[in-house]
């Protein structure tokens, strides 16, 4: 199917915001402004949920200078949502599109947003309405399949690598005060974010010393033995743990702090780091504390990867180009190139292969115990975080 008539474009942002999601919006708008086949350029306020309430803004009426400013602005300028389409919603949305002569839709989001885009593309086909729908990838979780990586991940990975280094410096200043530190990360059921905390690690005894990933069930006895062994060897232990780590029976460590579920029935967990700290204090009699970056890891403007920002812009621009090429019901993917140096091109994948599917960390990116990353992960992730991380020097502490 290829577009027959000029039409209006609508763009939405969905799910957890990132430090570079607005770069995808800017890439899309700046590309659309150059295209004569796109007449109106509209924005959904708060994603598909706002669209259902007809909260629509005219992006052509924005000041021309705002787009380059938004390129460097974190979070979602249009507002986002976590809303699962109800049975009657697609039909209502198609009616809204007809009323506003919208024939192009770009939805910037992750797994659940891909499901929304897929269902709307199907609904348009069933209604015999000419609608071209493209999903633009975005998630710090880095768990979308068929793309080398996801915009948003590189910046969050950079933040966590830096945060782990900086927090460790505090521990090193007085290791006897709180010798055990736990840093809790987001990432849902995939360990990509947790693993990124190791990107500043140069030597075996550098932090982090243990990674607790969702891909490996948590066993208390093993964990305590590992913590005690590291503590006896170097005098302090830095642990980075995913908020969704679970026991072999499937119980989340953070379930004690669970605050319900989101619209897609994903548990809203809180408390894994606190559980680990209490466990260490009770069983090993060691002082312990935790850091929990929370939303900062998703949208810290201070830690944006320039590579990530560029690629977020690229997928937004490519989304508009794909729409005008007559593509629909697909997601933009990033394809890694290594010659003459690292860069990415884009491709497309059918949304039915992406919607509600998670990509976990490959086995080759983790050591045999699944407690630390391998060189293969460094090769994969380091190009995504932009400028090389600073290596902190240490004084020679030979005493006179």
Q: Are residues 235 and 376 in the same domain?
A: yes
pLDDT digits (tens, 9 = 90+) for 24-67: 999 999 999 999 999 999 999 999 999 999 999 999 999 999 99
Residue 96 in any domain: the answer is: yes
Residue 395 in any domain: the answer is: no
Q: What 8-state DSSP symbol labels residue 366?
A: B
Q: Are residues 180 and 92 in the same domain?
A: no
* Boundaries of domain holding 61: 7-151+302-353
* pTM for this predicted structure: 0.94
For residue 223, give the CATH number of its domain. Answer: 3.40.50.460
Q: Are residues 44 and 178 in the same domain?
A: no
Q: Are residues 145 and 219 in the same domain?
A: no
pLDDT digits (tens, 9 = 90+) for 304-326: 999 999 999 999 999 999 999 99
Residue 399 in any domain: the answer is: no
**Window from 178-192, 205-219, 265-279 with minimum mean pLDDT:** 265-279
Q: What is the pLDDT of residue 397?
A: 87
Q: Which residues are catalytic?
A: 141
**Confidence class of residue 265 from pLDDT cuts 50, 70 and 90?**
low
pLDDT digits (tens, 9 = 90+) for 116-170: 999 999 999 999 999 999 999 999 999 999 999 999 999 999 999 999 999 999 9
User: In angstroms, rounded to a whole number, what is the distance separating the alpha carbons of residues 137 and 158?
Assistant: 19
**Confidence class of residue 177 from pLDDT cuts 50, 70 and 90?**
very high
Question: Mapped to the 3 state alphabet, what secondary structure does the chain carry?
Answer: CCCCCCEEEEEEECCCCCCCHHHHHHHHHHHHCCCCCEEEEEEECCHHHHHHCCCEEEHHHCCCCHHHHHCCCCCCCCCCCCCCCCCCHHHHHHHHHHHCCEEEEEEEECHHHHHHHHHHHHHHHHCCCCCEEEEEECCCCCCCCCCCCCCCHHHHHHHHHHHHHHHHHHHHHCCCCCCEEEEEECCCCCCHHHHHHHHHCCCCCCCCCEEECCCCCCCHHHHHHHHHHHHHHHCCEEEEEECCCECCCCCEHHHHHCCCECCCCCECCCCHHHHHHHHHHHHHCCCEEEECCCCHHHHCHHHCCHHHHHHHHHHHHHHHHHHHCCCCCEEEEEEEECCCCCEEEEEEEEHHHCCCCCCCCCHHHECCCCCCECHHHHHHHHHHHCCCCCCCCCCCCCCC
Q: What is the mean pLDDT of the chain?
A: 94
The domain total for the chain is: 2
Q: Are residues 329 and 241 in the same domain?
A: no
Arithmetic mean of pLDDT, 91-107: 97
Q: What is the pLDDT of residue 42?
A: 98
User: In angstroms, rounded to a whole number, what is the distance separating the alpha carbons of residues 382 and 155?
Assistant: 11
Cis peptide before 340 (omega within 30 of 0): yes
């Amino acid at each position: 199917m290829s577009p027959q008539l000029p039409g209006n474009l609508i763009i939405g942002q969905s799910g957890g915001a990132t430090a570079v999601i607005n770069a995808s919006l800017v890439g899309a708008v700046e590309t659309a402004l150059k295209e004569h086949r796109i007449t109106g350029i509209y924005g959904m306020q708060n994603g598909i949920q706002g669209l259902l309430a007809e909260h629509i803004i005219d992006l052509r009426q924005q000041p021309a200078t705002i787009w380059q400013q938004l390129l460097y602005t974190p979070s979602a300028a249009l507002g986002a949502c976590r809303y699962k389409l109800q049975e009657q919603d697609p039909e209502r949305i198609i009616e809204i599109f007809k009323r506003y002569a919208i024939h192009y839709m770009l939805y910037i989001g992750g797994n659940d947003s891909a499901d929304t885009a897929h269902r709307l593309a199907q609904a348009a086909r069933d209604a015999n309405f000419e609608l071209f729908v493209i999903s633009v990838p975005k998630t710090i979780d880095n768990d979308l399949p068929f793309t080398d990586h996801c915009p948003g991940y590189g910046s969050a990975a950079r933040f966590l690598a830096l945060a782990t280094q900086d927090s460790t410096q505090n521990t090193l200043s007085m290791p006897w005060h709180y010798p055990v530190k736990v840093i809790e990360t987001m990432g849902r059921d995939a360990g990509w974010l947790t693993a990124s905390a190791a990107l500043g690690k140069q030597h075996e005894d550098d932090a982090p010393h243990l990674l607790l990933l969702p891909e490996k069930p948590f066993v208390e006895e093993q964990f305590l033995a590992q913590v005690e062994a590291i503590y006896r060897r170097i005098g302090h232990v830095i642990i980075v743990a995913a908020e969704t780590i679970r026991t072999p029976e499937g119980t989340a460590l953070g379930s004690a702090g669970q605050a319900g579920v989101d619209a897609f029935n994903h548990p809203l967990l809180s408390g894994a780091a606190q559980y680990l700290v209490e466990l260490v204090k009770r069983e090993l009699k060691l002082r312990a504390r935790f850091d929990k970056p929370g939303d900062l890891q998703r949208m810290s403007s201070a830690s944006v990867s320039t590579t990530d920002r560029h690629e977020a812009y690229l997928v937004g621009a490519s989304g508009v180009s794909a729409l005008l090429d007559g593509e629909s019901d697909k997601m933009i993917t990033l394809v890694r190139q290594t010659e003459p140096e690292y860069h990415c091109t884009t491709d497309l994948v059918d949304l039915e292969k992406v919607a509600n599917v998670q990509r976990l960390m490959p086995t080759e990116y983790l050591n045999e115990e699944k407690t630390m990353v391998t060189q293969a992960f460094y090769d994969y992730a380091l190009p995504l975080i932009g400028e090389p991380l600073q290596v902190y020097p240490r004084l020679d502490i030979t005493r006179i």
